[in-house]
Structure 1
Amino acid sequence: MRIIHFSDIHLHNKDISNINVNFIDPFINDLKKKNSQKKIDIILFSGDLVDQGGRSFSDIELAFLSFKEYIMDPILNALNLEQSKFLIVPGNHDIDRSKVDIYSEPGLISSLNSLESVNDFIESENLHHIKRVLDFKNFEKQLYENSAESITNFTSVFKHNIGGKSVGLLCINSAWRCNDSSRDKGMILIGERQLKQSIYQIKDCDIKIAMLHHPLDWLASVEFKVISQILQKEFDMMFCGHVHESQTELKATMLGKLLVAIAPSNWIDNSRSDSRTYSNGYTVIDYENEIKLEHRRYSNNKNCYVANTDLGNDEGCDIFPIPSSEDQDIMQELRNYCREIEEVHLESRNEHLLSFKTNTIAPKNIIELFVLPELKSHEQYDIEDKDGEEVYGLQSIVNMKENLILLGPQESGKTILLDRLLIEFINRNIELNTIPVFIDFKENKNTKIKTSISRYLHVSIHQIQEMLKKHNIILLIDNLTLNDKYDSRIRELEEMVMDRSLKGVRFVATSIPSITGEVPLEFLSNPFISKVKKIKISPFKVKQIRELSAKWFSKKEDALYKMNTNHLISVFSKLNIPRTPLSVSMFLWILESQENYKPINNAFMLENYIEKLFKKHSPEEVYSETFDFSNKQRLLAKIALEMYKTDNDNYNLTRTELYKLTDSYLKSRRLVYKVEDILDQFIKIGILHEEYSNSGIIVSYRFDCFFKYFLMKNMDYDEKFKEFVLSEEKYLLFVDEIEYYTGLKRDQDSILLNVSERMMRNFDEWLSYLFNKTNSYDNIFNHTKLFENSENEHIIEKLSPSHKQSEKEEEELLEFELENGISEKGIVKKETELSYIKVLERSWILTAKVLKNTEETENIALKNQVYENMLNCSVAFASLYKIIIDQYLFKSNETIIVSKEELNMLDKFLPLVHQQLTYRFVGTAKLSLVFEDDVKAKLTDVANQYSEFEKFISVFIYCDIKGDRFLHYIDQLIRIVKKNYIKEMIFVKLLNIFYTSKTTTYDDEYLKLIGEIKVRINGGSRQKKGEYIEIYRNKKFLSQYNGQEDGKDEVI
């Protein structure tokens, strides 16, 4: 089948005298050539037959008849085609605007505000408001009186048999609401019900074609989605005009594939134009085993049509495949799977949003509220070196062909990012030819991956292998973990990815990075996982916070959300609160009702959030006067404790178990309340979450932080549990709970002392070993083979991220059991034991967090001593990390199992990374005097007791909180350091501070310090220092001028 598509002639009376020379003759000559090569079957003209409602003619009817006489008839005669093969639709220039009722038009616009109101208006057959288009429809009825299946005022239906195929053509009137061309966009209506009724008449046709004047983005918002979906689902091709520019697109969604072709104009006045973008032209469409579009352009110089090589390939052609019947069956199956996922799983993904069950003005679905964090292949520590930095967008992740692991800390939005990817894969399933499957790796850990796929897609396990041979699968894996418990699943994942008998299996997984934010050490030792591309999820910057705030307050005045955003950014910056999507969302929700809210720390904000959850719901809160917030908090703590003791996957209980627990709790306190009412409220306001499984209804805490908060509250209510949590054997399994507890109490001297002493005991062996090998941390950063031929092999063994499992363990892990259903929510299970590295890591970090929280203690000496010890242990841990990196870099010379570029980058900038990390855990202005005392001690270190690394960290933690004398201490540090690696870290740190500063208050001082350290690195005179100052002053000016400095993104 060969189709000719052209549009927008805008016939004017003055054009008639020279229409043959400027349009008809060259056009027909070109059509004859195409017809001689292959017979033309259909001509489609997508509107604007005449100009401005035919005003240049005596009346609009004469204008339409002139179009027939001077355009249609010559073309039909030249090609020997019958009139029913030349189809037209009305454009905005084909209406008589003098017939628009200017008095009732505004009322009609406001009335047609829903699908139903549009449908009702069309079915009312009220001709008064469509008089503007009736002249065209009368002309159309005369043309096709005996050849159309049906002609209404809104659609016209035609059927033709071409080449043994039945072709259904639907001509859609998109002009009946046109009035003012400058304001028509967003006002165009079609009518859902009448469109479906017209489609029904061609439902049995082999090929279905739609034509209308306006592209779909001109539709009113009330109809855009539903009309777009109908056309996408029901038609093979759609032809439009109006915009005078040729565009071609094959749109593939879960509803089907639709070729959309927009024709250029052919108005006579444009024939002399030199514009190639808006040049006159038309398209030849061949629909056979493939769809081929040949774009033709009018050349005024040659007075003929030539190939438009600005479009398509070198010959001006676009070619799209037409799937075979077998391929169409597979595509339909893919659509069915994706439709099933959409109907069964997508709505539940919204529950991961904090706003979902919260009484808030914020949107409650992922599409409206989602903000993409910054995704980077690796951290860029040197602000001047941007060449190696690659930032990924959502589409680049979706289009990626390789496997991928997204590394982000707890509550960094990993699960919601996977949710958003799931939605994208569903919406683009035909284009991507892929079925997405969501798997939480920590749920049902003994379940085979193929079993998980079977349950997710509701496909028999016996059919999975065949399904995998026909369809590409993308596994969206949450909580990817490497340890002995998950080895069998990792092996199965590797086998599926490598299995060439399958159509194609790849995965995008999320995992928690190492403490430095880099690849977890256990990932490096796994040959399969180590080779997978890693991308890091960055904390929210100002750009993301502003975007989330704008979406959150989208229903409020701009000034309000801007004020709230600025307040929020200021608080996060000053208090060093984690900039995660969850904490930002929590803050925004509180700001809705308390505009000047300022939390003390993360635990305080979480408590405030939970309390406000209940207060917001207080009008409908059950028993609010008698069973108050305090009572409910105690019950929720009891529930969390029972969930912890039961130790199920996801720390859940069945609804029955929860009912019995609550009933027993109430009876033991002689409280007479309905258990169902209380539990229903906990679920309604979003504290608890319930879902259905094969074993019944199971209930868990909605967020990991909720579970840990209420588990922590037992430390107030149950002395034995508090002793258990703080015991030396268990305390490192409860780092978050202890952080919450000390954050709320803020005066726990005894806990601070205990965790500090235990930290020193945990580090004792490592510290002793280090100083037997080297007397300073600085020396470690100059040695890459510290452990070669070491006599202390037991220390080396402790550095191994994982041990080799026994044969018996392996056999036990291979015994898969079918579990009942897969939960789509997850609370991170606590480990039963920790590796040596994990013990060291958690020891110093917990000490840092507790110190930060213990601001109300009067024991100044304790705070000073703990801070000094914590810095010592943190640097010892950084030294350990340095050695491990060197080991892997050495091994990768033989077998490359991980990106050397990433490890080399971390190796080079580890001191800077560690300083930023330490600040993240301990930094607060309330410890400024403690920090300053430490700085003074280290900078006046006559006995060389401290390494330059320790001095660097101490000074710049004080700098990061903007202590009163931070510039003075940086200057002192620069004058005493001798190690080049520390000089380089000082330079990079200062450069980052200078480039990202939001004010110019300290710019001159920063530049002096930068010049000084640069001279000390490279050598040179005071004149050279001045040159460096000018170089970096100009660089910052140029980067600000070009809008490329990091300050535009305002790193907090």
Structure 2
Amino acid sequence: MPQSTDVSQIDLFIGHNVTTSDLLTVLHVSDFHFHTRRRKEQEIVIEALLEDVRSLCIGHRKPDLIVFSGDLTQAPPTDTHAEAYDILLEPLQKAANISSERMFIVAGNHDVDRVAVSRHQAQHQNWRETSNSMEMMNQAYLEDAFSDAYFDKFANYLDLEDYMSKGTKVYGNIFCSVYYIDALNTDLVIFNSSMLSTGGLPGTGRDEGLLMIPEYAIRDAIAKLTPGSFRIFTTHHPLNAFTETGASYLSKEIQKHANLHLFGHMHDPSGAQIIGFNGSVVSNQAGAVFTQRREYYIGYSLICIDKTKGFVQTLVRSYFPERGIFNDGVDRIDEGRFYNSPEARQYWRSLANPVDEAKFKAQLAGQVRDDLVKEWDDLGLLDNGGRQHFVAPRLNKIDIDSNRDNKIKLDAPLPFQSLSTGQANIILYSPQEYGRTTILREVQYEYLAGAAELAQPRLPIMIRFEEIAQNLHHMTRVVRSRSLIDTKAFDTDVLLKLGMMCLLVDDVEFADKKRMAILRAFISQYPQCRYIFTSLKNSAAPYGAHVVTETPVRFEFVELCELKRKEMRELVKMKVPDAGDVEIILDRLHSEISEINLPFTAANGTILITIYEQNSNFQPINRSVVIEQFIDATLRKSSIEQVRRETFDYSNKTSLLAHLAGWMATNNCYTPTYESLRSEMRSYVDNLGLEVPLDDLLAEFFAARIMRKLPENCVSFRYRAVLEYFIATQMIKSTVFKNWVLQEDRYLTYINELHYYAGLVRNDADLMNVVAMRFEGIIAEMEKESSINPDQIATIELPRTAGSDALDHMSAHLLGQPLSKEERDEALEGEIPRDVEERQNVFRPRIEHTGHKLLVGLFLFSGLVKNMEQINKNEKQRLLKLAWRGWSLLLSSSLAIVSELAKQRQMRINGVLYEIFAPKAMSDEDLGRKIALNMPTAITKFIATSLGTEKLQRQLTEPDLEEADEPLVYEFFRSSLIADLRLPATPNAIRNAFKKLHGSSFLSEALVWKIANMRRMDEINQSHFEAVQSDVAGMIARLGGGKPSELAKDKTRQIEKFRKEGLLLKMQRQKEDK
């Protein structure tokens, strides 16, 4: 590795390096005065504020805390705190990459509800008349005289305060709240200086000179401070707004106990180093972040503190309306910076550029990138794939767009390059085997290749979540060991402390409490760094709720999606040299992957393209056959060498691979050493009495990409799907091994293997009966534990408020044109090989309680029903009904938590905290309705993935005498699956379903919503939709309510809209075809 000794390090004027625990950065914002009528004006300033924070707050200037020191709203309850949070505070958290647990708010005089004050006006008058008497104020405090007025006048404020920063609060009384942030060893004391304020209620006079905080309240709070902590005290008002007695006492306590005093109110920034008899403190008065008077100052402050040395730098940021930007506050102070001493000025100027950025960038783009590529090449990651075959996938950022009519903005496309050029911390999630590791490696490469162009260059280091073990010290060692940079030129610890590193953590499992605790501690230690995690979707975002990371930094959620036709075309071009064959192969990929219900991913595309190269007439039946043909192609079954009987032929090779897969499974070791694998191969061939050159055979497996080498002389199957297929094959070859897999405490962890097995044999009625009996037992156990009755689903009545727009949304989806051709190329979800070009981890679901059993058992059982096509038709009908029962139970249990989830917005389930992304201002009723209405459609997508096959067409469409006694939700599932499969019976199925569901408004509306979403995604044939549009129109009219005569008119209007829209759609498609 080339050395570079002339690159500068942190070498401060006092000769000591800065440690992470020394530095603290506080973003101080104040006086927003959210006003509903001035929202548009405020949004202009907010946009400039967020842009300034994003560009300013990098490196050591990334905030550890955000303090908003009062007057968030102008006049509650008209101007609500919830809306102010949505429009300002939450976007500010995002811009600063900080979590809500690290944002704190202070009550100001404009946060007071004047109507509430009027109800307690006499008390306020009495308090203000005696507010200069500490004795009388203390007595009132002891008598709890302030509580009624406090909870009344600050009701809106307190609701928001409770929503934020709950985890760090250690004490609170009417006047004071104490928060302790352990990772920063910092106490934050918030004083409610507005308790005696009347909020400008007419006839009550001004607050100045009449405010007071009782001594006893202050003493109670100070007693809760952590010894040796750094202390930040905050008020809304400056001390000169207090009574003489109140100001004198609070001033002494601030000087004695605080390191930093933050306040607002005056709309004019100022800073000072105050030294008095009782101690010293740095004070900072923030300007107003918005004011209605154009001639008044608008600004905020960013305060950087070295807690050990006591050096403070305040960056004053002023808004310049003529340019529409925030910039250095040179209109208030030289250079827009305040230092609390000349030494502090020298210190912070020395710290401004501790690393030679140009040389850092050069080393990243040169030596580090070259070493990374060499490392990949040594591991075989660039063999016939790797980077040269990388196609950027679709990324959807889950975002809340609070500034546009309080709507949630889902699936916002995110450019792939933003993963390496952006500043946000990201959790990238997807179903199993969508290539997340590949994505992280590409991000790592792009960080290095594009280092010269990055505004914030960082050293990317990638680790696996499973490598996090023992403690924080061990994790730090792991991170250091992965650094490829010249440590004599750039010390890894220094880069960590300055935030000049991006840590990429693969396969994060948020339910792993021990590892997550270590990871959180690392992030708390190095919050200035950037973090990108990958995770399974069911760990990061089940049921639409997103895990709360409970870290001091904010994370954005990005979903890794299937490829669209455009991206798959690029993959085909990379693998198929003849340009004339690209479109032909692309069409076949699209058609055949869709027919076998697999997602349109690079994994499946690569497998099928490989198969096409060997067999142009291949027609897949199920996923087992896809993998079988892939293995057939890669092992060259048809090669001339196979006809020589003395050669270890294809049949022998697949039998050996099946044996090795079973051996790995029984030993629970899927990455054995080369020697142990070779030893097991020797035992196998010796038992057969064959002589085989094992090293040559292993070399063939590596070349065929069946197996691959790993670090530390280990080996594994290259694709997990291939390993699972061979485990399934070994189940066919060995009854002993099959029975081992089917043991009751194990079989639920072998979902994919059992699905492959069913796809290969297709007629194992005995196995099907065993799994069915066990599944019935799981259902009975779940029903007994939860007292959930799926029959009650049909009786659900969703609230419909005057402002409810659900039917309008459905009509819009039904009337609007389906997505364009480029947007219609998404395939159905399904289980696919994960990380096709990268590492393959074996996935064994953890079965911890009955709920886990139900979910895992449901997917296992449904997949077996789907693949066991050669069992008796009557038995298939029985099994299908059992599947409906299981899916009904899942839907019922999901609906059971809707009310609580909508109310709390957060729920801890199985030890993991999940959060619903919805505007704070959205009512619980509206949110609950939206969740409940979407759940049945979400469940039907799972059903289509796990159970959907045209081979069940007769069981789905032919009448059954027992159907009349079935729960209505079965009919909903059945008709939805018929529609998802686009069977010819779709129109009749939908019409019959509407008739049967007529007595259930919930299931009727859910079916309309299902059709509307299918229409929007162009997942229902146009002829099928035209055939049912009269029935859909009638149902929408009926759900809307009204008199019979009005219903008929509404139905006629809907049908006419559908007719016109159909004509427009035909014209549009004719235009596209041309």
Give TM class, smaller chain.
0.5 to 0.7
Residue of structure 1 in register with 2:251 after alignment: none
Q: CA RMSD in A?
A: 4.0
What's the CA shift string for 1:951-980, capped at 9, x where partnerless? 211111122223333211211222332333
Given that residues 504 and 531 in structure 2 are in contact (C-alpha distance below 8 angstroms), is that contact kept between their aligned partners in structure 1?
Answer: yes
- Mapped contact 1:622–1:678 kept (Cα < 8 A): no
Which residue number corresponds to residue 79 of structure 1? none
**Which one of the candidate residues 779, 783, 799 is aligned to 1:767?**
783
CA drift at 1:1031? 2.7
Q: TM-score, normalising length from structure 1?
A: 0.57
Asked whether the 8 Å contact 2:428–2:559 carries over to 1, the reply is: yes
One of 568, 575, 597 as aligned partner of 1:545:
568
**Counterpart for residue 87 of structure 1:** none
1:342 equivalent in alignment to 2:375: no
Counterpart contact for 1:438–1:476, Cα < 8 Å:
yes
CA positional deviation for 1:379: 13
Q: How does 1:225-374 map to 2 (within 5 A)?
A: 329-337=356-364, 339-346=366-373, 364-374=385-395
Separation (CA, whole Å) in 2 of partners of 1:445 and 1:622: 51
Match for 2:895 among 882, 890, 902? Answer: 882
CA shift digits 1:342-377 (9 cap, x unpaired):
2333466589999x656xxxxx34244414135242
Q: Which runs of 5+ in 2 are unaligned?
A: 1-322, 328-348, 402-406, 801-836, 920-926
Work out the CA distance in 1 between the residues paired with 2:1047 and 2:446: 58
Match of residue 413 from structure 2 = 391
Identify the structure with bigger relative contact order (alpha carbons < 8 Å, sequence gap 6+). Answer: 2
Matched-pair contact (CA < 8 Å) for 2:906–2:916: no
The C-alpha deviation readout for 1:34-66, integer Å capped at 9, x for no partner, is xxxxxxxxxxxxxxxxxxxxxxxxxxxxxxxxx
Displacement, 1:387? 5.8
C-alpha distance in structure 2 between counterparts of 1:405 and 1:888, whole Å: 22
**2:550 maps to which residue?**
527
1:454 is matched with which residue? 480
Contact residue 516 and residue 917 of structure 1 kept, 8 A: no
CA separation of 1:525 and 1:768: change in aligned 2, threshold 3 A: farther
The residue aligned with 1:191 is: none
Aligned to 2:938: 913
State how far apart, in whole Å, the 1-side matches of 2:591 and 2:1010 are: 22
Query: What is the CA distance between 1:481 and its match in structure 2?
Result: 0.8
1:960 is the counterpart of 2:969: no
Q: Residues 443-481 of structure 1, C-alpha deviation per residue, up to 9 Å, x if partnerless? A: 465584322221211577995433312452222221111
Deviations 1:584-641 (A, max 9, x none): 2211221223223221111110011011101179468898852011111122222223
Secondary structure of 2:508's counterpart equals: coil
Matched position secondary structure for 1:686? coil
Counterpart-to-counterpart distance in 1, 2:757 and 2:553: 37
- Please give the secondary structure, in 2, of the residue aligned with 1:479: strand
Structure 2 counterparts to residues 829-840 of structure 1, below 5 A: 829-830=843-844, 833-840=847-854
Q: Distance in 1 between matches of 2:420 and 2:770?
A: 48
User: What CA distance in whole angstroms lies between the structure 2 residues aligned with 1:720 and 1:476?
Assistant: 42
Mapped partners of 2:1072, 2:541: distance in 1: 24
Report deviation, 1:497. Answer: 2.6
CA distance in 2 between partners of 1:540 and 1:506 (Å): 27
CA distance in 2, matches of 1:937, 1:531: 56
Please give the alpha-carbon distance, in whole angstroms, between the structure 1 residues aligned to 2:540 and 2:907.
25
Measured in 1, the distance between the counterparts of 2:533 and 2:438 equals 12
Q: Is residue 467 from structure 1 mapped to residue 467 from structure 2 by the alignment?
A: no
Q: 1:620 to 1:775 in 2, by over 3 A?
A: closer
Amino acid at match of 1:475: L
The answer to whether the aligner puts 1:868 opposite 2:884 as a matched pair is no
TM-score (normalizing by structure 2): 0.56
- Separation of aligned partners in 1, 2:726 and 2:544: 29
**Distance change (3 Å), C-alpha of 1:350 and 1:993:** farther
Distance 1:503 1:526 in 2: 13
Amino acid at match of 1:548: L
Match of 1:198 in 2: none
User: Greater shift after overlay, 995-1004 or 609-618?
Assistant: 995-1004
TM-aligned CA deviation for residue 833 of structure 1: 4.5
Kindly provide the CA deviation profile for residues 485-522 of structure 1, in whole angstroms up to 9, marking residues without a partner as x: x43332232233333xx47222221211229973698x
SS of residue matched to 2:635: helix
CA distance in 2, matches of 1:473, 1:624: 57
Which letter does structure 1 place at the counterpart of 2:955?
Answer: V
DSSP 3-state at the match of 1:673: coil
The match for 1:688 is 707
Q: Secondary structure of the residue that 1:442 maps to in structure 2?
A: helix
Deviation at 1:847, TM superposition (A): 0.8
Name the aligned partner's letter for residue 510 of structure 1. T
- Is the CA contact 2:635–2:650 (under 8 Å) kept in the aligned structure 1? yes
The structure-2 alpha-carbon separation of the partners of 1:998 and 1:883, relative to structure 1 and needing over 3 Å to count, comes to closer
Of 1025, 1047, 1051, 1:1021 maps to: 1047
For residues 472 and 779 of structure 1, what CA distance do their matches in structure 2 show?
57
**Superposed displacement of residue 526, structure 1:** 5.7
* 2:1030 equivalent among 995, 1008, 1018: 1008
Deviation at 1:1000, TM superposition (A): 4.1
CA contact (8 A) 1:733 1:831 kept: yes
Q: Are 2:398 and 2:412, in contact at CA under 8 Å, matched by a contact in 1?
A: yes
Alignment of 1:62-461 (within 5 A): 329-337=356-364, 339-346=366-373, 364-377=385-398, 388-430=410-452, 431=454, 432-443=456-467, 445-446=469-470, 448-458=474-484
In the alignment, which of 568, 578, 584 is matched to residue 589 of structure 2?
A: 568
Change in Cα spacing, 1:353 to 1:542, as seen in structure 2 (3 Å) is farther
Query: Which protein has the larger Cα radius of gyration, Structure 1 or Structure 2?
Result: 1
* Deviation for aligned residue 1:931: 1.1
Is 1:716 matched with 2:732? yes
Q: Secondary structure at the match of 1:390?
A: strand
Alignment of 1:851 onto 2:871: no
Percent identical pairs in the alignment equals 19
CA distance change for structure 1 residues 894 and 545 in 2, over 3 Å: closer, same or farther? closer
Q: Is the 8 A contact 1:780 1:879 kept in 2?
A: no
1:674-823 correspondence runs (5 A): 674-693=693-712, 697-768=713-784, 775-779=791-795
Q: Which amino acid aligns with 2:1040?
A: N
Cα distance change on mapping 1:524 and 1:894 into 2, 3 Å:
closer
Counterpart secondary structure, 2:417 = helix
Residues of 1 paired with 2:579 and 2:416: CA distance?
29
Q: Which amino acid aligns with 2:793?
A: Y
- Cα deviation for residue 425 of structure 1 reads 1.5
State the alpha-carbon separation in 2 of the partners of residues 946 and 591 from structure 1: 46
Paired with 1:764 and 1:340, the residues of 2 have a C-alpha distance of 62
Cα distance change, pair 531–1032 in 1 and its aligned pair in 2 (3 A): farther
- How far apart in 1 are the matches of 2:378 and 2:896? 43
1:249-295 deviation line (CA, Å, top 9, x unaligned):
xxxxxxxxxxxxxxxxxxxxxxxxxxxxxxxxxxxxxxxxxxxxxxx
CA distance in 1, matches of 2:378, 2:1005: 47
Structure 1 residues 451 and 736: CA distance shift in structure 2, 3 A: same
Q: Deviations over 1:208-241 (max 9, x none)?
A: xxxxxxxxxxxxxxxxxxxxxxxxxxxxxxxxxx
Give the Å deviation of 1:877. 1.2
Q: Deviations over 1:402-461 (max 9, x none)?
A: 322122111222222222222222222241411211112134655843222212115779
Task: List gaps (5 residues or longer) in structure 1.
Answer: 1-308, 314-321, 359-363, 785-822
Check 1:838–1:979 CA distance in 2 against 1; reply closer, same or farther (3 A cut).
Answer: same
SS in 1 for 2:915: coil
**Distance in 1 of aligned mates of 2:410 and 2:883:** 34
For 2:746 and 2:553, how far apart are their aligned partners in 1?
A: 31
What is the rounded CA distance, in whole Å, between the counterparts of 1:885 and 1:452 in structure 2?
42
Contact 1:991–1:1010, Cα closer than 8 Å, also in 2:
no
